[in-house]
Amino acid sequence: MEIIIMKKFLTIGEPLSVFSSEDLNASLSETKHYTRFLAGAELNVAVGVSRLGLPTEYVTAVGKDPFGTSIMQDIKDAKIGTDFIDVMEQYPTGFYFKQRVDHGDPEIFYYRKGSAASHYDVNNLNKIDLSEIEHIHTSGIMAGISEEGRITTETMLEKAIKNNIRTTFDPNIRVQLWSSEEYMKKILNQLAAKANIILPGTNEGKILVGSSDPETIADFYLNQSEITDTVIVKIGPDGALIKNKTGLDQIISGFKVDQVIDTVGAGDGFAVGLISGLMDGLTYEDAVKRGCAIGALAVQSPGDNDGYPTRDQLSKFMERG
């Protein structure tokens, strides 16, 4: 009998503990009650892809502290590989506080400067057997937390190019992490040029390319690099535009939800759907539709990744339309 070995998904980023407010519409300075969740944009994607049953590896560093210990256990519980996670005694694990709101985006306050992940040693990437990897996901957050993070993200993308591994890049703008907006724009667009698939939102496009028009955003990234072959522009509840160099140019409709509890993690949920769909062999159209579905599920739960579904939950949600 032939043994089929499933290739893995890999992502690299900074894991965080998030203390999410339980006091609706209270400012962070007024909030008294919090619940701790696992967070970090790239880790959110790893959690979601693993929850759908695909082999997943996560590259990062945590501190040897209570937050690092709890994050490591949460990662193991999520059935994500920990072989490429370093534990650093000399640096702390990052965390942040998040407001709870019933409309709009929540207020967020970070404690991540000088974290273990921001000191990740890029030489450790040489220890990873990329022959086992089918897809690598990166974002602008790891690049924004430190110069080491920028170099690590760039090196990961370059290794993927050399090994013919499909990549996604989500700009995931966090203005607080960058020394200036101009430097942020320069670095994020340089990194995007090294990825096969770019996943900007319309608000990010306004900052990075000077337009919130999905077609304009897509054309910018398709034209700036021979490596980039597909751009998927997220347009919120309305869905997403797919445009590629082979002629595909289509808007995929989103899913309407009755109540939005927390928008944080929706974009990462979209990435979960797209990446898992491509790894499952779906067309871009069907993979993006799955991304829209998981994004819609994500906004209905308080944690950054608590709303990400299992296969069964995803199927039932998509059947309801």
**Active-site positions?**
268
Q: How far is 185 from 178, CA to CA, in rounded Å?
A: 10
Q: Strand runs (DSSP E) across 172-239, as ranges?
A: 197-198, 230-234
Q: How far is 60 from 257, CA to CA, in rounded Å?
A: 34
Per this entry, what is the length of the chain? 321
List, in order, residues 6 or more apart from 22 with CB less than 8 Å away: 31, 33, 34, 35, 100
| DSSP designation for 72 | H
List, in order, residues 6 or more apart from 227 with CB less than 8 Å away: 161, 193, 194, 195, 196
Q: How far is 193 from 297, CA to CA, in rounded Å?
A: 30
Q: How far is 255 from 240, CA to CA, in rounded Å?
A: 11
Q: Strand runs (DSSP E) across 114-201, as ranges?
A: 133-139, 166-170, 197-198
Please count the other Cβ atoms lying within 10 Å of the Cβ belonging to residue 259: 7
Q: Coil, strand, or helix at residue 113?
A: coil
Q: HSE-up of 204 (CA within 13 Å, CB side)?
A: 27
Q: How far is 167 from 179, CA to CA, in rounded Å?
A: 27
Could you tell me the two tokens for 65? 């502290």
